[in-house]
Structures are given as structure tokens and as C-alpha cells.
Chain A
């Protein structure tokens, strides 16, 4: 029993394995994978019966059309325009209904408080401040979300989105980014914070950072109401009623395309400066089409997405409503704080084609973009509360006739809304995803800088050619 068969120690096994490994070339890994696959193939052939039937033929026929050299891109555009149009038409209708219903509740609440002889500031703070902020957000945001999210989820369920990534990958490759960035941008239409989280599907760290830093150029749901309102008031109103909603949808499509243009420009610049590198490999599975289950889609998109985003908006809108009320009602040297802010920001706002009130609204609305429009209305209405005028005609009256808005103001605000810094939640999400102060700051200030530069250029060029504003 000497040392003829001494037991092999784990260290010896490891050392032997390591020595052997170094004799392999890269092809060894391939051979292992090949072996696993052929084994799996044998097993599958023995036990799985396949039906090469009509489903696959139909899938391939659809794929040939939606990725075809001629029809691929026009179909994408048409789908996007269609979704925007349906959202605008539906949202107009339901927003008006919600407005009148919710503001009736406010009237009741105010009467009830008066009947109980509550002090004026309590009534003002609770009903004209907090409640009105909430009511605005619900009636402005709920309809577009409740329409847009389900339609979008259906497209997602169908399996169409990977085809978009496939169609557009070439353009992303040209700017050193990844085709899957189009998927994260699609998520950004709903919410930029969700879009930033979705960049986890991009494996290359460099391309993932590009996707994070540019996601903000896709207008999120919080910005749709602002854009829809401006498109309706300033563009659609110039067209006969028959085509008005189409004109508004066309305007929105234009805004989205400008955003995409800036995504590509910024990606290209990042690829050549801060994030130097070549586009990585792209391999993407195009899954078979599936029949979406409409009911489940409605349920999940309403509960998971619409309600989630709405709750978040309300959580920020209520305190913001309170802040707005305080700003408008705390007087300093005979002027409200809001008036001081507007006055101070006016020259700067004017240089960007906007005014001080818009900038003040954006500062108050940093936590959530959703409340920009209500805040703006409140600042304009000198009564110190958010306007209870409902319907787009009333808003038009307030903006154009009382506060001197022009087409230039509207265009500047659309561009600013599209390009400016991400909301507080998105900034926080960028930090959580990158764990880097540097990228968080860049993610915040690159868009803000671009927004300032673009608005400044547009306003001054337009004025040079004699535009009013």
C-alpha cells in the first residue's frame, strides 16, 4: 500500500486542466459548443415533431414586407403617425370630459370649505393649490397614456419592435451605436426612466452609455401633453377642422423626427469624443409573430404602465401644486415670489424665444415634466391659482391674447420641451444605472445645453427674418 494510487488532489486537477487549456486555440470553445448543439439536435430530432406549416409561411411573408427595402421605412413612419393621430383624437375628447368633471369636484370642495368657514389660505392651499395640481395632471395625462400605452403594448406583443431594430440598425451602426438602441428609444416614448433601465439589453458598455445619454431626446409621456397642446392650438387651428387632427399628428411626427435626428447627432459626436470606439457586433433574434391577447394587454398596460406613471405624476404634482400656490401668494416687497422669478428670468427666456414664465415653470417642474403646462397656466393667471379654464380654446385665449404668444413661442417651447434636461426621476435612474457622477451630470447637461443652443439659434434666426415674438 505504498504510493501506487495516491488520490488525486483538487490542486493537481486544476493545474492539469490549466496546462491543457493553454494548448487549445480559440476553436476549442467552438468545438464544445458545436458538440452541445449537435447533442441537443439529436435529442430534439428524436422526440420533437415539427410542423413546417402555414404559420411560418405567413410570418415570413409579413417579414418580407415590413423589412423590405422599399416598404420597410414607410410602413414604420405610417404606423408611428397612425398611433400619434389616434392618441391626439382620443385624448382631445377625453381630456375635455375629465376637465369638466374634476373641476366640478373642486367647486363642490370650495363651497364645502366655505360652508365650514375655513380660512381663505386653507381653502386656497388645499383646493386651488394641491387639488388643482392633481386634477390638471390627471385630465391632461390620463387620456393620452390610456390610449398610447395599450396600442404600443400591442405592437410590442405582436413582435414588431425587433423588426424596427433590424431595419434601423444600419443607421445606428453609422454613428457607432447599437441597433437595440431603437428598442430603448421606443420604451422612452412611454417614460425616459424606463428607457434608461431598458438599456440593460445592450451588452457593450460603450453603446449602452450612448443609449442612456441620448434617451432623453425621445419625448416621454410627460411631455406628450405639452406637445399635443401646442400642436393643437398653434398648428391644427390654422387648418380646416377636417384635417386639423392630421396636421397635429404631422407636427408631432416632425417633433419626434427632430428628436431622433438629435439622437443620431449626439451619438455620433459621443462616438468621436468621449466614448470613442467602433460599433460592436449586432446579432438580434427576430422572434415569430404572436397574436396579442388584447384583454391582458389592456390590463397590464393600464395597471403596470398607465397607473404607475400617473401615480408618480400625482405624487409630484400635489407638492408642486402647493409650491406653486405658495410662490404666487407669498409676497416680498409688494410682489409675489413668482412675479420676481418671472421678471428675473424674462431676458434669458426672451433670448430663447420663450419668456420668464416658461423657464420658471420648467424649474418648478424639474421633478416631473408632466406639470409644466399646469404650472405655466398658473403663473400666467395672476389670481394665484391654476386656471380652471378648460378646453384648448380657453388655453389659446390665455396664451395668445393675454400673454402675447406667437408661433415662434410655440415652436421654441416644443423644441425646448423635446431637448431639455431629463426629469428628476430619469436623472436618478441614470445615476442608479451608471453609478457615476460624471455620466449623470453629462446625461443632464448635454441635453440642456443642446436645448439652449437650439432654441437660441432658432429664435434669433427667426427674428432676423422678421418673425414676431
Chain B
């Protein structure tokens, strides 16, 4: 009896299986070969979809689409893209007439499906899963390739048919209609204007993260203070924030029609002193999805009377008297609710607090 130990037998088995896998890899139509084939096809398909989505986005931004500009935005090499786009051309998805790349009818439909999947999934991650803004894009890039038409219909209904994604980009409809974004870049505005952030461009990520780190979010109201060629400083939440020149094209804003910040009695619910009654004016667009629905369910609607009545050991959340009930709301949300102080009631109860 030759004495092989268990360890030696295990190592031998391991080696044999590695050899078997390597050999089967090259045997046509073996399970291993089919597995690798399937993975290759999946990766190729995902790359096609990325190209399609990129083209439709660039077209919407009014940029000229060429193999070179695509390679630049996607971070791929030009020869690789040329090969991929050649195959896509054979499948009648795109037309490349040497100066400009266009989508065919089929290509456009597919591209809008992917874009819709991407933006709906970002909405889901932001509104329901509450992922931080900086992580939305990356996660959605993986999931956008896995969602079918019926998945999207279900997701759309679940989210309450959102019109815009968390960055403020329009979400294509199931019929393939795509609205135009409504804002203009911050670099085009002059000092003194009241504006609302409607869109943040999430690529490149470096610029996007710097914008986020300044505290800028879609839906926030700003007042432009100083405008110079190098930077713009804005009034945000009572403090001045300076945005450098390279950030400005990626922040799109629209005129704030409500001019909430102009009335001295208008303030944020979070800044209302305890015991001070007020009337709710508006919920800012920054409260989205589930949080917004929940607040509306409680009857936090414009015109409602509200009064902070309870502090908290940590100062956050505070409790408010609304429609005969007491509701605790975190400062993070109360900050986004605009109210007007009740002048009359304040004088009558001023001493009693």
C-alpha cells in the first residue's frame, strides 16, 4: 500500500479539474465553452447599449456624435469603438456617414429604452433606497442592461410615473418620447437672480462630486450673489457658497418664480422657533418620492397651519402640530418646507411661550 495522504489526493483532484476546464474551454460547444460564449455576448450587448444611450444623450445635448467624441466620453479606445459600431451598423442600429453618427429607428427605440431604464433606476435608488447621489450613476449603469419592458412599466407605476430623474433629467416615456430639459447653465446668469437648481450633470464624476460637496442639490433655491469670470457665489441656506468656473456649465438652473426668499416673514420650517405658528407655503422639489408622499399623507400641504411644539434631546427631529395631530419631522426634511410666520398670532401669544 503506497501511502498517499488526503492532502496529496486533494491537490491531484484540483489539478485535474483545472486541466479539464482549460481543455474544455477550447472544445467547441462544450458547456464551459458555451458559458464563456454567453458571457462574451452579454458583455458585448451591454457595450452596445452603452453606446446607444450615449448617442441619444449627446444628441439631446446638441453635441455632434462621432466615433471620436463617443470614445472620449465613454473612456474607450477609438479602434474598439469602431469595431463595435461596425457591428451595430450591420445590425441596422446606427448609420455612420463618416462625419456624423445617427441612430436608425430601431436604434433610437432601443436607446430610449436603455435611457429610460437608467433614469428610472436612478429614481428608484434615490427616492426609495435613498442611495447617496454620487453612487446612483454607477449602480444604474449595471442594472440598466437587465430590465425588460414589463419591469420598467412596473417600476414606473411603483414610483408614481416620475417625469424627471434625481438629476433633473427627463425620463423617456414607454412610447419613446423624450422631453427637453428646462434649465440653463449657471454660467449664463447674472448677480441678484433668484434661481432653482433643475439639473446637475453627473458626468464626469469628479466635477459632479465637487458640486455635491458644496451642498448643491436639484430642487434647491439659490440667490446669485457675486458673478465674476472665475466663479459665482450663491446664497444657499443662509451661507455663501462659491462655485468655481469649471463647475458652472454642469449646474443648470431655472428662474425661481415663487421668490420665496424675498419676503422677510417667509422662512424654512426648520428655522421656525418653537411655539411660533405659521402657514405652509410650499414643499421644495428636493423632497422627492416616498418622503414627499408621506408628508402629503400627513396633510403637510400648502395653506396648512403648522406650529413647532416639541424640542428633542438632540434638537432633531422636532415635533409639529399639524391638523390636530403631533408629527415628528427631521430637520433635513423640515428645511425643505417653506412657511410664512403668522404675524397676528405671534403678538397674542408672544409672552406665553
Across-interface contacts of B328 in A (CB, < 8 A): 165-166, 169, 179, 282-286
For B285, give its contact among A26, A34, A204, A278 (CB under 8 Å): A26
Assess whether A30 is in contact with B135, with CB atoms less than 8 Å apart. no
Across-interface contacts of B326 in A (CB, < 8 A): 63, 285-288
With A205-B129, A279-B130, A285-B327 as known contacts, state yes or no: A37 contacts B299, CB within 8 Å. Answer: yes
For B317, give its contact among A33, A50, A203, A282 (CB under 8 Å): A282
B150 at the interface (CB under 8 A from A): no
With A34-B302, A276-B131 as known contacts, state yes or no: A171 contacts B314, CB within 8 Å. Answer: yes
Across-interface contacts of B302 in A (CB, < 8 A): 30, 34
Measured in the bound complex, the distance between the Cα atoms of B280 and A239 in whole Å is 59
Q: Output the nearest chain A residue to B304 by Cβ-Cβ distance.
A: A37
Q: Contact flags (1/0) for A202-214 with B, using CB distance below 8 Å? A: 0111110000000
With A63-B310, A69-B312, A282-B329 as known contacts, state yes or no: A22 contacts B290, CB within 8 Å. Answer: no
CB distance from B274 to the nearest CB of A (A): 10
B54 at the interface (CB under 8 A from A): no
CB distance from B219 to the nearest CB of A (A): 9
Q: Contact flags (1/0) for A11-30 with B, using CB distance below 8 Å? A: 00000001001101110011
Q: Contact flags (1/0) for A286-316 with B, using CB distance below 8 Å? A: 1110000000000000000000000000000
Residues of B163-205 at the interface with A, using a CB-CB cut-off of 8 Å, are: 163, 173, 177, 179
Assess whether A34 is in contact with B314, with CB atoms less than 8 Å apart. no
Across-interface contacts of A287 in B (CB, < 8 A): 325-326
CB distance from B269 to the nearest CB of A (A): 12
Q: Contact flags (1/0) for B306-321 with A, using CB distance below 8 Å? A: 0001111111110100
B160 at the interface (CB under 8 A from A): yes
B292 at the interface (CB under 8 A from A): yes
Measured in the bound complex, the distance between the Cα atoms of B129 and A64 in whole Å is 34
Q: Output the nearest chain A residue to B288 by Cβ-Cβ distance.
A: A26
Measured in the bound complex, the distance between the Cα atoms of B296 and A33 in whole Å is 7
B35 at the interface (CB under 8 A from A): no
Across-interface contacts of B41 in A (CB, < 8 A): none
For A283, give its contact among B303, B304, B314, B327 (CB under 8 Å): B327
Q: Output the nearest chain B residue to A281 by Cβ-Cβ distance.
A: B291
B103 at the interface (CB under 8 A from A): no
Across-interface contacts of B325 in A (CB, < 8 A): 285-287
Greatest chain A CB density within 10 A among B328, B329, B332, B333 is at B328
With A22-B163, A276-B132, A277-B130 as known contacts, state yes or no: A170 contacts B329, CB within 8 Å. Answer: no
With A282-B328, A284-B327 as known contacts, state yes or no: A67 contacts B316, CB within 8 Å. Answer: no
With A166-B319, A203-B290 as known contacts, state yes or no: A73 contacts B303, CB within 8 Å. Answer: no
Assess whether A170 is in contact with B319, with CB atoms less than 8 Å apart. no
Q: Output the nearest chain A residue to B316 by Cβ-Cβ distance.
A: A170
Q: Output the nearest chain A residue to B280 by Cβ-Cβ distance.
A: A34
Measured in the bound complex, the distance between the Cα atoms of B89 and A347 in whole Å is 69
With A276-B135, A278-B132 as known contacts, state yes or no: A63 contacts B314, CB within 8 Å. Answer: no
With A30-B283, A63-B326, A205-B129 as known contacts, state yes or no: A286 contacts B290, CB within 8 Å. Answer: no
Measured in the bound complex, the distance between the Cα atoms of B128 and A74 in whole Å is 35
Q: Contact flags (1/0) for B250-292 with A, using CB distance below 8 Å? A: 0000000000000000000000000000000001010110111
Assess whether B313 is in contact with A21, with CB atoms less than 8 Å apart. no
Measured in the bound complex, the distance between the Cα atoms of B319 and A69 in whole Å is 13
Measured in the bound complex, the distance between the Cα atoms of B312 and A73 in whole Å is 10
B298 at the interface (CB under 8 A from A): yes
For B327, give its contact among A22, A68, A286 (CB under 8 Å): A286
CB distance from A206 to the nearest CB of B (A): 6
Assess whether A277 is in contact with B129, with CB atoms less than 8 Å apart. yes
CB distance from B133 to the nearest CB of A (A): 9
With A34-B302, A37-B299 as known contacts, state yes or no: A283 contacts B333, CB within 8 Å. Answer: yes
CB distance from A55 to the nearest CB of B (A): 12
With A169-B328, A170-B316 as known contacts, state yes or no: A67 contacts B311, CB within 8 Å. Answer: yes
With A206-B129, A280-B290 as known contacts, state yes or no: A170 contacts B173, CB within 8 Å. Answer: no
Residues of chain B at interface, number, CB under 8 A: 50
Q: Contact flags (1/0) for A193-206 with B, using CB distance below 8 Å? A: 00000000001111
Across-interface contacts of B293 in A (CB, < 8 A): 29
B34 at the interface (CB under 8 A from A): no
A173 at the interface (CB under 8 A from B): yes
Q: Contact flags (1/0) for A22-55 with B, using CB distance below 8 Å? A: 1011100110011001100000000000100000
Assess whether A30 is in contact with B296, with CB atoms less than 8 Å apart. yes
Assess whether A24 is in contact with B163, with CB atoms less than 8 Å apart. yes
B295 at the interface (CB under 8 A from A): yes
Assess whether B135 is in contact with A170, with CB atoms less than 8 Å apart. no
Across-interface contacts of A29 in B (CB, < 8 A): 160, 292-293, 296
Measured in the bound complex, the distance between the Cα atoms of B319 and A167 in whole Å is 10
Q: Output the nearest chain B residue to A21 by Cβ-Cβ distance.
A: B161
For A25, give its contact among B163, B314, B317, B319 (CB under 8 Å): B163
Measured in the bound complex, the distance between the Cα atoms of B302 and A250 in whole Å is 50
Q: Contact flags (1/0) for A64-83 with B, using CB distance below 8 Å? A: 10011110110000000000
B82 at the interface (CB under 8 A from A): no
Q: Contact flags (1/0) for A164-197 with B, using CB distance below 8 Å? A: 0111011101000001000000000000000000
Assess whether B179 is in contact with A283, with CB atoms less than 8 Å apart. no
Q: Contact flags (1/0) for B9-51 with A, using CB distance below 8 Å? A: 0000000000000000000000000000000000000000000
Greatest chain B CB density within 10 A among A18, A26, A165, A276 is at A26
For A69, give its contact among B179, B303, B309, B313 (CB under 8 Å): B313
Across-interface contacts of A165 in B (CB, < 8 A): 328
B301 at the interface (CB under 8 A from A): yes
A60 at the interface (CB under 8 A from B): yes
CB distance from B275 to the nearest CB of A (A): 11
List 17 A-B residue pairs with CB atoms under 8 Å apart, sorted by A's residue number: A22-B173, A26-B285, A33-B297, A33-B301, A60-B309, A63-B309, A169-B328, A169-B330, A170-B313, A170-B315, A170-B317, A179-B328, A204-B128, A204-B130, A279-B332, A283-B298, A285-B326
Instruction: List 9 extra interface pairs beyond A67-B313, A69-B312, A169-B312, CB under 8 A.
Output: A21-B161, A50-B324, A69-B313, A204-B128, A204-B290, A205-B128, A277-B131, A285-B328, A286-B325
The 9 closest A-B pairs by CB, nearest first: A281-B291, A170-B314, A34-B301, A286-B326, A72-B313, A280-B130, A33-B296, A284-B328, A282-B330
